[in-house]
Copies of this chain bind each other. A is one copy, B any other.
């Protein structure tokens, strides 16, 4: 896999892992229906504990990203999770904070939107193969 954990980071390992898997799905590095490594395998690859991987997998299952089959392990769901009210509220509040912080520091609306646009474009180009790098 493509996982890189920063053991010096303030962010918990299980959360770093969770975010990288979501990024992986968004980029298409992880395709829908694709099998993920077993909790033991991934834990060994990264050099962390099996329970930490298990925690991440279960959170992602709860969020609607993964399906977990007791015998086959975890796979990326065919259908991605919904945009419910809770998600929107969270997104709004998170963006409100990030934008407030950027705004205070003098980042203009245009700069900020450009940054978001670039990130979005980079995702969409990655979809369906490695046409661009």
Interface residues of A (CB under 8 A from B): 19, 22-23, 25-27, 65, 80-83, 87, 91-92, 94-107, 109, 112-113, 115-117, 119-121, 123-124
In the bound complex, how far is the Cα of B81 from the Cα of A81, in angstroms? 37
Q: Is the CB of B105 within 8 A of A109?
A: no
In the bound complex, how far is the Cα of B94 from the Cα of A94, in angstroms? 10
Say which residue of B80, B105, B120 sits within 8 Å of A87 (CB atoms): B105
Chain A residues touching B, majority SS: helix
A selection of 25 A-B contacts at a CB cut-off of 8 Å is A19-B97, A22-B97, A22-B101, A22-B104, A23-B97, A23-B100, A25-B100, A25-B104, A26-B99, A26-B101, A80-B105, A83-B106, A92-B119, A95-B115, A95-B116, A99-B116, A99-B119, A109-B120, A109-B121, A109-B124, A112-B116, A112-B120, A113-B116, A113-B117, A116-B116
